[in-house]
């Protein structure tokens, strides 16, 4: 692998959390912004309440985003949950699912790189939230089947996820 020469640019990327906060306020979602680089949002959806975390890292012009489920895996179900993560992540085209190491809760994660861009667009931030919620709602039943229903990962995927192919 060869090294890439990089020139520093004098302009820095503006904080995308300002845009996210505008979207949150427009949707009247409860939120907390304890500092300039962190935003926490609560959203009630079809299956459960989700907690969205946005963290801006200006040094690398990246925004880390996660959407945490309102469910917790017991120690006995963690191996099967990891199997489910593997199966579910193979179906993802943006972001991935992970488990919060402290709380043992499933979550959707994605990092957006914005280096070189003057600022994120409203559409980018709206799409990120919309896609995360869509994927969380899509896969929630599979996580529920494994964590609370005692099903195996393959049983949960078969029972909960119907990927459509073609057109009706």
Whether 161 maps to a domain, the answer reads no
Predicted confidence at residue 5, as pLDDT, reads 46
Instruction: Give me the mean pLDDT over the 39-58 stretch.
Output: 94
Instruction: Give me the mean pLDDT over the 133-155 stretch.
Output: 92
Whether 124 maps to a domain, the answer reads yes
CATH of the domain at 33: 3.30.1460.10
pTM over 0.75: yes
pLDDT digits (tens, 9 = 90+) for 56-76: 999 999 999 999 999 999 889
Whether 110 maps to a domain, the answer reads yes
Whether 22 maps to a domain, the answer reads yes
- CA dihedral 23→29→32→36, nearest 10 degrees, is 0
Whether 82 maps to a domain, the answer reads no
| 34: containing domain | 17-75+94-136
Whether 155 maps to a domain, the answer reads no
How many other CB atoms sit within 10 Å of the CB of residue 117? 15
Strand partners, 40: 32, 53
Predicted confidence at residue 6, as pLDDT, reads 44
């Amino acid at each position: 692998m060869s090294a890439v020469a990089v020139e520093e640019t004098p302009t820095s990327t503006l904080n995308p959390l300002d845009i996210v906060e505008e979207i949150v306020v427009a949707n009247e979602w409860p939120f907390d912004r304890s500092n300039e680089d962190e935003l926490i949002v609560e959203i009630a959806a079809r299956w459960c309440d989700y907690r969205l975390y946005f963290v801006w890292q200006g040094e690398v012009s990246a925004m880390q985003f996660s959407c945490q489920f309102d469910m917790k895996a017991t120690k006995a179900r963690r191996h099967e949950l990891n199997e489910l993560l593997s199966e579910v992540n193979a179906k993802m085209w943006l972001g991935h699912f992970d488990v919060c190491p402290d709380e043992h809760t499933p979550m959707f994660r994605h990092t957006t790189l914005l280096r070189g861009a003057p600022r994120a667009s409203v559409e980018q931030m709206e799409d990120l939230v919309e896609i995360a919620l869509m994927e969380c709602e899509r896969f929630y039943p599979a996580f529920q089947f494994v964590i609370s229903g005692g099903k195996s990962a393959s049983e949960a995927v078969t029972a909960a996820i119907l990927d459509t192919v073609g057109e009706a």
